[in-house]
Amino acid sequence: MARYDFASDNTAPATPEAMAAVVAANSGYTSGYGTDTISARAGDLVRALLDADAEVRFVSSGTAANAISLAALCRPFESVLAHHHAHVCTDETGAPGFFGQGIGLVHLAGASGKIDPASLAGPLAAPDVSYRQPIAALSVTNATEYGTVYSTADLQALIQPVKAKGYGVHLDGARLANAVAAGFDLKTIKGLGVDILVIGGTKAGMPPAEAVVIFDRALARRFDARLKQAGQLPSKGRFFAAPFIGMLEDGALFRHAAHANAMARRLADQMPFPVLHPVEANGVFVEMDEARLAALQAAGWFVYRFLDGSVRFMCSWASTAAAVDEIAESLRRLA
Amino acid sequence: MARYDFASDNTAPATPEAMAAVVAANSGYTSGYGTDTISARAGDLVRALLDADAEVRFVSSGTAANAISLAALCRPFESVLAHHHAHVCTDETGAPGFFGQGIGLVHLAGASGKIDPASLAGPLAAPDVSYRQPIAALSVTNATEYGTVYSTADLQALIQPVKAKGYGVHLDGARLANAVAAGFDLKTIKGLGVDILVIGGTKAGMPPAEAVVIFDRALARRFDARLKQAGQLPSKGRFFAAPFIGMLEDGALFRHAAHANAMARRLADQMPFPVLHPVEANGVFVEMDEARLAALQAAGWFVYRFLDGSVRFMCSWASTAAAVDEIAESLRRLA
Amino acid sequence: MARYDFASDNTAPATPEAMAAVVAANSGYTSGYGTDTISARAGDLVRALLDADAEVRFVSSGTAANAISLAALCRPFESVLAHHHAHVCTDETGAPGFFGQGIGLVHLAGASGKIDPASLAGPLAAPDVSYRQPIAALSVTNATEYGTVYSTADLQALIQPVKAKGYGVHLDGARLANAVAAGFDLKTIKGLGVDILVIGGTKAGMPPAEAVVIFDRALARRFDARLKQAGQLPSKGRFFAAPFIGMLEDGALFRHAAHANAMARRLADQMPFPVLHPVEANGVFVEMDEARLAALQAAGWFVYRFLDGSVRFMCSWASTAAAVDEIAESLRRLA
Amino acid sequence: MARYDFASDNTAPATPEAMAAVVAANSGYTSGYGTDTISARAGDLVRALLDADAEVRFVSSGTAANAISLAALCRPFESVLAHHHAHVCTDETGAPGFFGQGIGLVHLAGASGKIDPASLAGPLAAPDVSYRQPIAALSVTNATEYGTVYSTADLQALIQPVKAKGYGVHLDGARLANAVAAGFDLKTIKGLGVDILVIGGTKAGMPPAEAVVIFDRALARRFDARLKQAGQLPSKGRFFAAPFIGMLEDGALFRHAAHANAMARRLADQMPFPVLHPVEANGVFVEMDEARLAALQAAGWFVYRFLDGSVRFMCSWASTAAAVDEIAESLRRLA
């Protein structure tokens, strides 16, 4: 049977801390639709984490969280700037267009998953013309799909010109914990001009759970109706909030992310194939030909070729040093 | 603090069986997006339950499950027949129109939440005219929002004329377990012409989890892309499948539903106010004036006035005989 | 062959004034997408008519104009208040839900097509709850679908409480010319709080053409992109603007509407069947049994039963006194 | 004042034949919504033209016609193959995503606006995966945006592999008349596997009018409701049908297109700048630097830089040899 250890960071089980919190939350009756005390407590923890007085909601799907955020920032005849390999562009089956009834995505370039700030100038300077979808927002991902991490200054350079035009900003934090473990300071987000942040739980070691953080309170008006209509306001809201309590209360979220990052580092250090992107978070991307990839898969390791043609290895909270050394050994035999 | 025991059947925690299965499923790496062995096992159990070779998917939201089902059965310029107090019409924030880009809902009448078969004739006989949304499907709910239960013959009387027109059928089974506990035979569904069935987990005592059962295989084509785009194909699919294993393996689903129904019966038997609908499943609906409702709420019981003006009391797997007797005592004091 | 004289006010040809303007406009090259001088001139005439500094666009479809207006005023999880027999509710195939991705319609009651101001109170007072689509706008139609006319005071009574809540207002003026001919003062609209007005051209005797008037300039931002995406920003914009020049320059619009109203009055005065609604504009609605309606149709007059069960007779700019007298004679023979 | 002679083929007025037919059609009462005799006659002429028993509708907008066609062929979680510079991809403000609630567009390469048949292989061979929108249709444009023309064999090479997968085909014929004038045989379309064809009227010299031809009768079911909901089923349908009568009855459509093509040829023959694409239809695309383009515009000729960086000159039925020679003279002075 194939081993999925390095296939993605969503193939791992949930962490003990997250599961314990879910089990603990499953007690007594509560009011529904996010009005319960577990959701309130988790919201407080998220606000404390960000040092920000924001609205927080807990949903089950990162795809939905991202698409709903973009639909809140854009009208159907407008478009979103995003890295051409951003998850919203490549891996969400067109969800932004579905939730946003045709919202456009304008693809930006940039090495290793990071938007090149120079690529913003053209789209932002383009005059509104009726036959194209004008820009209304920027979507940026930290850590990126290629395991690289934006610094606060990096984000500032991207966000400042967007806000100067009066447009919105969405931060996809599916792997925000890994960015933090790599040195990104969460408390800087509130000063950056981000309107909506999605904090990923799933890839960080929770059961399906994502936090939607709405910094701009005007955007939060009737957000529960927006979520309910979109199938993301669960009656039993505590189940999507509790994992955040378990992971935030004692810092498990960042401890686990640091471990995942360290495991990626450990794998990169032993990697016999050329590593194609800086290993700053929990992924290692390498150059490997078809024959060797097939051999690796035949050896039982399920990994695959990513958008840029590299082969991707993702580490998670559950990755063990032993497993890393084991796949490294398999790789060495192939190299 | 308010007591939510009878506010809804989604205010209760998850059952021990469901939770144990979730905890048990949280082990080892798996492939994602519903391709894991837990999802496969849960799908097998659902198929066995229905004695049907259907496609089964597990999602997090009943609202989304219903809306996606209707979007699969109708195009935007078509409409769905449903009881005017069906959940899809009244409590899902227009989700069918959102997921289905304007799909219409044609409201049908009928006592105690059950569609009057005679009400179908008019809409089904109406000629297609370009300025109205023609019918393309029927949505029917068992058990109904008023705690009544359709027999197989009842459903047949509704479904037969709809299928005769070549239209689709959606069965909203948010409380299907309660219907079964009241005598409805699940194995008859496959012969009824139902195209898509949603089996509710949440109200039956699971953490957020619903099963979507696609009887018509043609409808299942590319359904995973449909779900993914709609934010309902979780990477960690096992978390929405596992509760069904826990609840189906040894019949806990129906045992708990039978208990909920019995508790409703127990409450109805002691009810000092007029009971307005037959108590066949897990709800009791009574006539109560504003002053008495306010007094009941002041006494700490959170219950509310329902769509038909009655006051609703819902029982769940977690309702205790003691709590039922306690609220009955409160009610007697008010009567 | 059936005679369509009284079937609707859209069965008539276009007026000589409208056609002459179209023919006159068809000269030389112009820039596209509404930037031409004909569109500018027509916009000026509309602004003068309303004594208002509003944005004006010319489109081909009243259904689209209404639906786009509502989509500009509401988000998908919000809803619109409208008379239950308003055109947007009954005759546009769910276009508001299509253009607005599920926007809801909340049906209000009121005699003879006019919203009862008392019917607003409930919906406007209802608290926002996540599972229902909260109100975001009012849509009101003048003249109404039943040939009655709101006075400025009537509209004020409806609009004031809606604006007090901060909600939007759409005025469907498919038959605004008939309302004006009945005494409604166009110049009062700008003071009423209407955000978007649709002035009907088609039913007033133009080839397909409607004017969308955006009083709230903030709503007008990127409206051309909105229209283009929705298929309502024609490259050859002059063809939808020119008819308004022909009909507005010398007051033909209101002269023809006055004639249509007078013809309805003439028909009502001879009507041997009970007239069910006040005849204030260009329609006459009567009580007539099935046999007599069939006989009238057999006599060659295509008319039909309307939403309230009455039989509707519409007059237009093209209705002749002779035709009115002729159908009146047919009716007398049946009575 | 700027001259728009060569800015586009939609800056010209309508042809005398089209206008005469509109004026002639404006007589007497008719039934509405495309059921009139003018629409029937125009439909017959289109069917005769194509030698095909297809459904035909007349609408006001090419953008809407294309988007509605794609929405008929794809579900929101599916995508359309199209040339990356096809009008549906670049100039319709995301209309396919709006009308189709997120339908994706997969961009194909190919010289001079023609899809390279080799570019189909990859997308068509790609396995369905849940996180990408699988292909459901091909959209192809003849004549192309670069004034080149597909032969029947060219189209066959593109369509055959698409139909072999069971997918749909949309033919955007905004400039179909120009393709015909260049030798394309209309009667071959019916054998090609095209499901929906849009025949452009606007760019061919009509007032706003497009014909939607539905070859696959199953797709035509409830198409009028689809059009009505989308704001494209005009009550006064004769106004969008009549221009086709005027242009088809005596072959004016192709006579005018041949003239437009000839004028493009005449311009190309005198062009002092490098012509970048084969001049097969009515456009000439040339290499010109910014300074010279500015000088040309300063000389009063409104033309602009196209998607590929070339400067585009479009000819129409109204282009005169004198005007061509005049702009050629301006160009020579700049060269």
- Beta-carbon separation of A202 and B4 below 8 A: no
Residues of C in contact with D61 (CB under 8 A): 60, 231-232, 234
- Beta-carbon separation of C225 and A102 below 8 A: no
Over residues D268-327, the pLDDT tens digits come to 999 999 999 999 999 999 999 999 999 999 999 999 999 999 999 999 999 999 999 999
- Given a cut of 90, whether residue C273 has pLDDT beyond it is yes
Percent of chain A topping pLDDT 90 = 99
CA nearest to C66 within chain D:
D231
Region A284-313: mean pLDDT is 97
Closest-CA distance, C136 to chain B, in angstroms, reads 14
Residues of A in contact with D130 (CB under 8 A): 93
Long-range CB contacts for residues C120-124, cutoff 8 Å, separation at least 24: C120/C81, C120/C158, C120/C161, C120/C162, C121/C161, C123/C81, C124/C161, C124/C162, C124/C165
Q: Average pLDDT of chain B?
A: 97
- Beta-carbon separation of C14 and D5 below 8 A: no
Give the residue numbers in B contacting D (CB under 8 Å), as ranges: 33, 75-78, 101-102, 128-134, 222, 224-230, 233
Per-residue model confidence (pLDDT) at position A180: 98
Per-residue model confidence (pLDDT) at position B36: 96
CA distances from D87 to A92, D142, D287 (A): 25, 11, 21
Spatial separation of the C-alpha atoms in residues C58 and D207, rounded to whole Å: 14
Over residues A98-128, the pLDDT tens digits come to 999 999 999 999 999 999 999 999 999 999 9
Instruction: Please report how the helices D252-270 and D238-248 are oriented relative to each other, as an axis angle in degrees rounded to 10.
Output: 70
Pick from A27, A29, A236: which is nearest to B208 by CB?
A: A236
Over residues A27-73, the pLDDT tens digits come to 999 999 999 999 999 999 999 999 999 999 999 999 999 999 999 99
Residues of B in contact with C90 (CB under 8 A): 131-132
Spatial separation of the C-alpha atoms in residues D135 and D81, rounded to whole Å: 7
In 10 A of CB D166, how many CB atoms?
Answer: 7
Residues of C in contact with A222 (CB under 8 A): 75, 77-78, 128, 134
- DSSP letter for each residue of A232-268: ---TTTHHHHHHHHHHHTTSHHHHHHHHHHHHHHHHH
Q: List chain B residues with pLDDT less than 50.
A: none
Nearest to C258 by CA among C313, C319, C181, C175: C181
Spatial separation of the C-alpha atoms in residues B259 and B107, rounded to whole Å: 32
Percentage helix, strand, coil for chain C under 3-state DSSP, each rounded to 5: 45, 15, 40
Query: Token pair of D257, please?
Result: 């297109």
Over residues D145-177, the pLDDT tens digits come to 999 999 999 999 999 999 999 999 999 999 999
Over residues B293-305, the pLDDT tens digits come to 999 999 999 999 9
- Beta-carbon separation of D98 and A91 below 8 A: no
* Beta partners for residue C314, in sequence order: C283
Residues of D in contact with C30 (CB under 8 A): 4, 11
Query: Token pair of A97, please?
Result: 């267009």
Pick from C94, C228, C235: which is nearest to D229 by CB?
A: C94
Q: In degrees rounded to 5, what are phi and psi of residue A168? A: -90, 165
Q: What is the dihedral of CA B195, B158, B230, A76, to 10 degrees?
A: 130
Over residues A135-151, the pLDDT tens digits come to 999 999 999 999 999 99
Residue with tokens 């299509």: C98
- Given a cut of 80, whether residue A1 has pLDDT beyond it is no
- Given a cut of 90, whether residue D238 has pLDDT beyond it is yes
Query: Token pair of D236, please?
Result: 């006064």
**CB-based contact B163:B169 (threshold 8 Å):** yes
- Beta-carbon separation of A26 and B13 below 8 A: yes
In 10 A of CB C16, how many CB atoms?
Answer: 14
Which chains, if any, share at least 3 CB pairs under 8 A with chain A?
A: B, C, D
Closest-CA distance, B226 to chain A, in angstroms, reads 8
Nearest to D212 by CA among D237, D191, D179: D237
Residues 6+ apart with CB under 8 A from D167: D73, D135, D136, D137, D138
Spatial separation of the C-alpha atoms in residues D6 and A193, rounded to whole Å: 45
**CB-based contact C190:C215 (threshold 8 Å):** yes
Closest-CA distance, B214 to chain D, in angstroms, reads 17
Per-residue model confidence (pLDDT) at position D224: 98
Nearest to A103 by CA among A69, A59, A57: A69
The region, left, alpha or beta by phi > 0 then psi within -120 to 50, assigned to residue B268 is: alpha
Among D70, D131, D232, pick the best mutation site for testing chain B contact (most B Cβ within 10 A).
Answer: D131
- Beta-carbon separation of A133 and C75 below 8 A: no
Over residues B220-248, the pLDDT tens digits come to 999 999 999 999 999 999 999 999 999 99
In 10 A of CB B308, how many CB atoms?
Answer: 15
Pick from C10, C68, C230: which is nearest to D236 by CB?
A: C10
**CB-based contact A281:A178 (threshold 8 Å):** yes
Which chains, if any, share at least 3 CB pairs under 8 A with chain D?
A: A, B, C
Region D22-44: mean pLDDT is 96
Percent of chain D topping pLDDT 90 = 99
Which chains, if any, share at least 3 CB pairs under 8 A with chain B?
A: A, C, D
Based on C-alpha coordinates, what's the Rg of chain B? Answer: 20
Residues 6+ apart with CB under 8 A from D65: C231, D59, D198, D210, D212, D232
Pick from B134, B226, B228: which is nearest to D131 by CB?
A: B228
CA nearest to D72 within chain B:
B75
If residue C291 lies in a helix (H) or strand (E), which one and from where to where? helix C290-298
- Beta-carbon separation of D225 and B77 below 8 A: yes
- Beta-carbon separation of D225 and B133 below 8 A: yes
Residues of B in contact with A26 (CB under 8 A): 13-14, 19, 207
- Beta-carbon separation of D228 and B131 below 8 A: yes
Among C37, C61, C175, pick the best mutation site for testing chain D contact (most D Cβ within 10 A).
Answer: C61
Percentage helix, strand, coil for chain A under 3-state DSSP, each rounded to 5: 45, 15, 40
- Beta-carbon separation of D33 and B225 below 8 A: no
CA nearest to A223 within chain B:
B93
- Given a cut of 80, whether residue A214 has pLDDT beyond it is yes
Residues of B in contact with A302 (CB under 8 A): 31
The region, left, alpha or beta by phi > 0 then psi within -120 to 50, assigned to residue A47 is: alpha
- Beta-carbon separation of C64 and D231 below 8 A: yes
Query: Distance between alpha carbon D38 and the CA centroid of its chain, in Å?
Result: 23
- Beta-carbon separation of B232 and A231 below 8 A: yes
Closest-CA distance, C245 to chain B, in angstroms, reads 30
Per-residue model confidence (pLDDT) at position B2: 87
Spatial separation of the C-alpha atoms in residues B266 and A241, rounded to whole Å: 34
Spatial separation of the C-alpha atoms in residues A25 and B286, rounded to whole Å: 32
pLDDT band at A2 (very low <50, low <70, confident <90, very high): confident
Per-residue model confidence (pLDDT) at position D179: 98
Residues of C in contact with B306 (CB under 8 A): none
Region D99-125: mean pLDDT is 98
Closest-CA distance, B162 to chain A, in angstroms, reads 27
- Beta-carbon separation of D208 and C14 below 8 A: no
- Beta-carbon separation of C76 and B95 below 8 A: no
Spatial separation of the C-alpha atoms in residues B232 and B229, rounded to whole Å: 8
Closest-CA distance, B71 to chain A, in angstroms, reads 12
Spatial separation of the C-alpha atoms in residues A155 and A191, rounded to whole Å: 11
Region C242-258: mean pLDDT is 97
- Given a cut of 90, whether residue C1 has pLDDT beyond it is no
Pick from C29, C60, C92: which is nearest to D234 by CB?
A: C60
- Beta-carbon separation of A229 and C77 below 8 A: yes
Per-residue model confidence (pLDDT) at position C239: 98
**CB-based contact B312:B148 (threshold 8 Å):** no
Residues of C in contact with A131 (CB under 8 A): 33, 225, 228
- Beta-carbon separation of C28 and D13 below 8 A: yes
Question: For the stretch B220-241, what's the b/e string if a residue is b when 16 or more beta carbons lie within 10 angstroms of its beta carbon?
Answer: bebbbbbbbbbbbbbbbbbbbb
CA angle, C316 then C317 then C318, to 5° = 85
Spatial separation of the C-alpha atoms in residues C40 and C242, rounded to whole Å: 10
Per-residue model confidence (pLDDT) at position D108: 98
Pick from D77, D91, D98: which is nearest to A94 by CB?
A: D77
- Beta-carbon separation of B97 and C92 below 8 A: no
Q: What's chain D's length in residues? A: 335
- Beta-carbon separation of A77 and D98 below 8 A: yes
